[in-house]
Structure 1
């Protein structure tokens, strides 16, 4: 029984890259993330080929940014496994860092110097408007306005967001 629970849990430390894989060409959020990842890879690679492929990925990035209606910068700090089921209206500051296997719904705003842990789910319309830290496996409710730190496993809801009890695993 314990093994089935641990298998079902998504890791907060190891990125599940399959969550970002596009099955079809018309998966705008996954295509946008692919452009960001490729741009960052080729920028690190450098050289003439890297310069050319960075330019190509910038063009693709701009296309997918318009299609999705997002403002996620090319130099963002996002670890693998990010899911954006409805990407429209998502705004992420370049200095914010997002851990692995997170889930972000539409109309979310994340400001500068926010640190989001692994496997954090952020509901639609949530605003993280101060430099805060959100722990692993935390939940941010829809339309919550987060102005304080959220401990690991906790749930934050409301305006301003209040911390509810931590999730517990029943075995």
Structure 2
């Protein structure tokens, strides 16, 4: 089934090959079909999935998302006023429905971000965070 991530991958591939107009058209198509902003310039790793096709997902142009990340619907990964840096998300992260990851934050590997959490501070590896603003509620031991 067609998913916003598939359209993003096509747009990103075209952008890396310096094809000028098609990446913008695919980004517009993502917006029209899924009400999402997933720009071709964002760096999204392999195996990353968007829940429910990616409905309502907003990703910053310069955001870096690792491999095998699960992004739920209505998630925002973006900047904050007064900060140039944007989020860097590690591998094997689950970002639940409605979560916001904002500003110059680094999310470690194997992290779970709870539903509607607002992450504005760095999160270490193997953590579970929830709340507004998000707080670490558990560190998973391996």
TM-score normalised by the shorter chain: which range applies? 0.7 to 0.9
State how far apart, in whole Å, the 2-side matches of 1:98 and 1:162 are.
21
Partner of 1:121: 94
Cα RMSD after superposing both structures: 1.7
Question: Structure 2 length normalisation: TM-score?
Answer: 0.85
Partner of 1:33: 5
**Higher gyration radius (CA):** 1
Question: Structure 1 length normalisation: TM-score?
Answer: 0.71
| Runs of 5+ consecutive residues of structure 2 not aligned to the other structure | 80-85
State how far apart, in whole Å, the 2-side matches of 1:61 and 1:153 are.
33
- The structural deviation recorded for 1:58 is 3.8
Whether the aligned pair in 2 keeps the contact of 1:35 and 1:57 (CA below 8 Å) is: no
**Which one has the bigger helix percentage?**
1
| Runs of 5+ consecutive residues of structure 1 not aligned to the other structure | 1-23
State how far apart, in whole Å, the 1-side matches of 2:130 and 2:5 are.
28
> Number of aligned pairs?
135
| Aligned structure 1 segments of 4 or more residues deviating by more than 6 angstroms | none
1:161 and 2:134 correspond: yes
Distance 1:110 1:60, change over 3 A: closer
Partner of 1:140: 113
